[in-house]
Chain A
Amino acid sequence: MRRFARSTEMTLLAICVVFFVFLVIASKGDLVSANSLRVLLQFLAVPVLIGLAQMVVLAVGQLNLAVGAIGGFASAAMGVLMADHGVPVPLALLIGFLLAAAAGLVNGVLVVLTRINGFIVTLATMTVLLGVQYRLVGTRTVDAYPQGLKDFGSFALFGVLPLIFIVALIVAGALSVLLRRTVPGRQLLASGGNPIAARLSGISNDRSVIIAHTLSGAVLGVAAILTVASSPGVNKSIGGDWLLPSFAAPIIGGALLTGGSVVVLGTVLAAFIVRFVDTARAEFSLEPSWVNFVVGAVVLGSVVLGQVRTRRQQRRTVVKAPDATVAGGVS
């Protein structure tokens, strides 16, 4: 499995490099200018985070339809707190972050308590939060918050590395360590990989589900902070287009939809690829709708590819031990 994951990452890295070189050539070298690179990375920070937010929930074998709603709601809350109520920036951001994490926690607790499918639960909380977001900002665009925050949002190290991108990478690194090297992280993956075995090993699947959803909310809280900092203002449409990219990144990145196996680096690289599609669109001045079309097709393609690979891998083990019924399987 790990070798398989590694090969996925290598493939993605290769695709990234090829795509990037292609774009550099297509733009006649313009893309390697400091300014273009900065913009590219600037717009990558949030997609990386929302991909990771979906990824942790996929890890435990669930999904989160409320990624956009949680992010949008938290962004709106932060904007309104600062602009309408004069709450100091750090406090407003902290409150927004905690609200997002709490929303994730609520998702997890609801799934565990009601035993209702996470799909339905997050669909419901998504709708509720969209309502709250609209209630908070209505049709206006809230932008009267301190310049300092906007400066943070647009600051780039050496004029190339946006601060918010670095924040996204730090979150990715932290998640990677958490999933690979900490007991709650390992337990979360164990619950996703084989819930029965996990339970019989004394692992609480309920706790894993709650942790995963809460983590998802927390990551979305960070995404919301970066969104508020880097956008000209906050309105009701923030988060509205997060759902597809949130699935695209982890799935292209090599996560198993059945849970138990996710790839942080793959998710980050996949976010790059999705971003490149968008860049290419701009470069060739195609219609924006093409991006959704291409990303949707790529997601479908990676799922199919993953399936084929899994099947081939199984066939290999089949020759070795035909009646193999290893725990839940990798399918």
Chain B
Amino acid sequence: MTLFQAEKVEKVFPGVRALDRVDLALEAGSVHALLGENGAGKSTLIKVITGLYRPDGGRLLLDGREVSFGSPHESASAGIGVVHQERNLIPGFTVGENILLQKLPTSRGLVDRAAIRSEASRWLAELELDIDPDQPVTELSVAQAQLVEIAKALSIESRVLLLDEPTASITPNESALLFRVVDKLKNDGRAVLFVSHKLEEVFQICDTVTVLRDGASVLSGGALSDLTRDQVVDLMVGRTHEALSLPPRAVDRDVAPILELAGVSTATGHVDVDLAVRPGEIVGLYGLVGAGRSELAKALLGLDRITAGEVRVRGSAVRIRNVRDALRNYKIGYVTENRKEEGVFLEQSVSRNIAVTIWDRLRKALGYVPAKEETSTVATYVEQLGIRIASPAQHAGTLSGGNQQKVSLAKWLAAQTEILIIDEPTVGIDVRTKDAFHTLIWDLAANGLAILLITSDLPEMITLADRVVVMRDHAVQGELPNDHDYDRMSQQVIRLIHAEGTTAA
């Protein structure tokens, strides 16, 4: 039975047809995947369904009756629950209050705490979650917070549930819990829309699929059992997508490592970490989210304290105080995983974004930075990385995710770093741009850069890394030479991660 339907929905923004006669049908008791590259219109579609945007054409049907929502509140009242990509919990509130925020129960004018507790417990139990409704949400893990949001979306008695990239920030272990919940929702007869970039997940838990490309639904409601992974990718990118294969690159094993960690322990909980990266080598640091990889990078850069052990750069023991120190004295750069928050200045021009690391080098007397040199350096890297911009004066915030990431990378190249720590370079970046990025990173290594690549994307790791270092619980679990055979490598890596006992979730 079709619970919800979008028919020929259109949404036009100045200069862009964001949605072009999109069809979507959600069946009761079924999980429907919504796929598409970045910018294909997934988020716009969700915003139209939930009433954040008004459609410019087409119609929405709930239970076969035409509906029109003026605000998220109206769609919620109609029984459409949403879990947005961004976390949407109120930090100072308890789990229960957050779940029932949309309709806090009252008795005689006052918020009824007992009712909150029992009502919230009901929804938590519905999802078979063992979370105390009185617990402050700040104490939850990311995955728990995610599940609490699902409980919140359910609490409005929703029959249609939209999940926008619910697994983007949680570990595979935690995803399993989420999938169980999704399964339960499905068996209870709800209609679930599941947006994800991870095809493995989609094939695992979804029944049908709609693929958006450039705002149009190129496939609407196809059964996933009739499709292969490659077919889905082809639909998304609109051409036959060939798996990227990079030529092998010889790493001189006799060259002394440029960056070495010996028995390093940190204030954030790392114990006795050994690691070495040679010039021209890509060392992959793999592990589940929470294994302490980014934290290790941050400790390396002096952002967190190193409590024991030694860091050696070009053979001599060093104590890096901060990012500035790392860059100026050791030529180490760090491309952050949080591109929007830490990687680029969204309100500043591309030019400034790239030049931020080189002002110190270019400055003349009184701190004057000659515009000409700045422009030419920026132009070099815009071209080298293929950053698509109308002009260097364009604000970074107006660029696509992939181009922003390139800007984030460009500033470190401009600074002529020799050691580059790259953290989750392709999160939330579409398939085509991803390949371009991989080629780029590969080229950098071929040109002699030492690269420490942190990624949770196993195919990415196996495509790029020369060696894979597996971390778990803030310690190195093992190291594998990469033979670029996906099946064998992925098995070995996963086995290492789960070598003994279970990982902390």
Contact = CB atoms under 8 A, between A and B. Distances in A.
A319 B412 CA distance: 29
B76 interface: yes
Contact of A202 (B72, B90, B145): B72
Contact of A326 (B71, B76, B109, B140): B140
Interface string B112-147: 000000000000000000000000111111110100
B111 A323 contact: no
Interface in A192-206: 193-194, 196-203
Contacts of B14: none
A113 interface: no
Contacts of B143: 321
B117 to A, nearest CB: 14
A315 interface: yes
Contacts of B139: 317
A116 interface: no
Interface stretch (A179-187, A240-248, A276-284): A179-187
Contacts of A183: 104, 106, 111
A95 to B, nearest CB: 28
B93 A321 contact: no
A330 B87 contact: no
B146 to A, nearest CB: 10
A143 B169 CA distance: 65
B183 interface: no
Contacts of B292: 322
B377 interface: no
Contacts of B76: 202
B417 to A, nearest CB: 25
Nearest to A203: B101
- Nearest 5 interchain pairs by C-beta: A202-B73, A197-B88, A327-B89, A321-B141, A193-B90
B142 A319 contact: no
A85 interface: no
B97 interface: yes
Nearest to B143: A321
B90 A197 contact: yes
Interface in B240-290: 268-269, 289-290
B290 A323 contact: yes
Contact of B89 (A3, A182, A197, A199): A197
Contact of A189 (B92, B102, B140): B92
B295 interface: yes
A234 to B, nearest CB: 37
Given A260-B90, A260-B91, A323 B169 contact: yes
Contacts of A193: 90-93
B127 to A, nearest CB: 18
Interface in A170-188: 177, 180-183, 186
Interface string A191-224: 0011011111111000000000000000000000
Contact of A200 (B82, B140, B141, B504): B82
A3 B169 CA distance: 27
Contacts of A329: 91
A181 B111 contact: yes
B467 interface: no
B110 A182 contact: yes
A315 B110 CA distance: 36
B373 interface: no
Interface of A: 1-3, 177, 180-183, 186, 189-190, 193-194, 196-203, 256, 260-261, 313, 315, 317-330
A322 B111 CA distance: 34
Interface in B149-182: 152, 169
Contacts of B21: none
A200 B71 CA distance: 9
Contact of B97 (A186, A199, A315): A186
Contacts of B169: 323, 325
Interface residues of B, number: 42
B86 A326 contact: no
Given A325-B142, A327-B145, A330-B91, A201 B101 contact: yes
B111 A182 contact: yes
A194 B91 contact: yes
Contacts of B269: 319
Contacts of B268: 315, 318-319, 322
Nearest to A59: B92
Contacts of A327: 87-91, 137, 145
B294 interface: yes
Q: Which residue, of A180, A261, A324, has the highest number of chain B Cβ atoms within 10 A?
A: A324
A330 B138 contact: yes
Nearest to B104: A183
B141 A1 contact: no
A311 to B, nearest CB: 12
B8 interface: no
A45 B143 CA distance: 47
Contact of B294 (A181, A186, A260, A323): A323
Nearest to A193: B90
Contacts of B104: 183, 186
Nearest to A202: B73
B84 interface: yes
A158 B182 CA distance: 65
Interface string B51-88: 00000000000000000000111001000001010111
A320 to B, nearest CB: 6
Contact of B84 (A1, A200, A321): A200
A326 B140 CA distance: 8
A196 to B, nearest CB: 6
B91 A323 contact: no
Given A193-B92, A199-B72, A326 B97 contact: no
Interface string B166-207: 000100000000000000000000000000000000000000
Interface in B315-370: none
A194 B89 contact: yes
25 contacts: A2-B136, A180-B111, A182-B111, A186-B93, A186-B97, A186-B111, A189-B92, A190-B93, A193-B92, A197-B101, A200-B84, A201-B102, A201-B152, A202-B71, A202-B76, A260-B92, A261-B91, A317-B138, A318-B268, A321-B142, A321-B143, A322-B294, A326-B137, A327-B145, A328-B91
Nearest to A321: B141
B110 A177 contact: yes
A202 B88 contact: no
A313 B138 CA distance: 10
Contacts of A3: 136
Contact of B72 (A180, A200, A321, A324): A200
A1 B73 contact: no
A188 B453 CA distance: 44
A329 B504 CA distance: 22
B137 A196 contact: no
Given A1-B91, A183-B111, A186-B93, 12 more contacts: A186-B97, A190-B101, A196-B86, A319-B269, A321-B141, A323-B142, A323-B294, A324-B142, A326-B142, A326-B145, A327-B88, A330-B138
Contacts of A203: 101
Nearest to B269: A319
Nearest to B140: A326
Interface in B2-61: none
A1 B92 contact: yes
Given A2-B136, A181-B111, A315-B268, A320 B141 contact: yes
